[in-house]
Amino acid sequence: MSDETDPQTDGGEEPRTDGGGGVPAVPPDDETPTWRERKERTQGLSRLTYEYFERSRREDQDLRQESTYVERDVLAFPTWPHETIRNLALASFFTGMMFLIAAAAPPHMPAPADPSSTPPVILPDWYLYWSYGLLHLSPVNPELAILGGQKLVTDRVYGVMANVVVVSIIAIVPFLNKGSARRPVEEPFWAALGVAGVIFAITIAALPLEDMITFIPGELVFNLTFFLPLIGFFITYAVLKAMREGYMYSLNKRYYRLRPPR
């Protein structure tokens, strides 16, 4: 029979870490973890990282409770003149850069609009290029053979439906991913999905500009709109997955070096 103060690792109550009693999440150094405990600690990078932070917090708390510990004043620079001069230098630098850009590269002012003629290229504001690009998805609008080769909806309606689908996906993602990860390496899939979404926003924004991009064929621009996000997704997922495995190996190696197995 085991002691009642030993932490339960067979599906029992989790050890408390809020200071309200019970066994701490990280046992003292003189208690060597069992094989089952070591296995549980390797199941997630976030859990292993949390144990390191909990261990550091407990050691810092023990150090502060010692009688030989002396609280020291925080050393910093005074507001005047150090911080004031530094902030003035930074503000002057950025203000000068804005004046330099405004003087050296003024914004392009086209000719006044002529209501009697339609310009060859019609574009909205740059931050709406992605939405305008979704209206150019007529090549992927399916033609149904049962309707004699006709399309079920018009190209304009298809583009509006594409905008609704994209906005709906962006709104649903926060409800699907409810994890507690704070770094992309802890959730490679969702991080890669976010990178793919950013790449898709850039490529779909370039789709209305295919008439202005003369050095790339229009069909190639359309294909890259869908292939580049997939490539970015797989590359990002592979890199983050490898980084997570490397971090977990390094953390486990350091952890077992400090506390060797039985």
150 three-state secondary structure: strand
151 three-state secondary structure: strand
Once rounded to an integer, what is the mean pLDDT over residues 22-49?
A: 59
pLDDT of residue 17: 47
Round to whole Å and give the CA distance between 213 and 209: 6
Structure token pair of residue 62: 């023990």
* 23 has pLDDT over 50: no
* 259 has pLDDT over 90: no
Round to whole Å and give the CA distance between 159 and 164: 9
The CA-based dihedral angle spanning residues 172, 173, 176, 180, taken in that order and rounded to the nearest 10 degrees: -140
Residue 155 DSSP label: H
Greater confidence, 79 or 69? Answer: 79
Q: How confident is the model at residue 33 (pLDDT cuts 50, 70, 90)?
A: low
Burial of 57 (0-12, 13-18, 19+ CB in 10 A): middle
Greater confidence, 224 or 213? Answer: 224
* 2 has pLDDT over 60: no
pTM: 0.54
Once rounded to an integer, what is the mean pLDDT over residues 49-65?
A: 76
Report the chain's mean pLDDT, rounded to a whole number.
76
* 227 has pLDDT over 60: yes
Once rounded to an integer, what is the mean pLDDT over residues 5-22?
A: 49
pLDDT of residue 67: 60
The sign of the torsion formed by the CA atoms of 142, 144, 145, 148 equals negative
Give which of 203, 139, 213, 191 is closest to 166, Cα–Cα: 203
Q: How confident is the model at residue 1 (pLDDT cuts 50, 70, 90)?
A: very low
Greater confidence, 50 or 43? Answer: 50
Once rounded to an integer, what is the mean pLDDT over residues 86-106?
A: 91
Task: Name residue 57's amino acid.
Answer: R
Give which of 36, 37, 17 is closest to 25, Cα–Cα: 17
What are the backbone dihedrals phi and psi of residue 144, each rounded to the nearest 5 degrees, phi first? -85, 130
Round to whole Å and give the CA distance between 2 and 6: 7
Contact 137, 129 (CB under 8 A): no
- The two beta strands, 143-144 and 150-151, are antiparallel
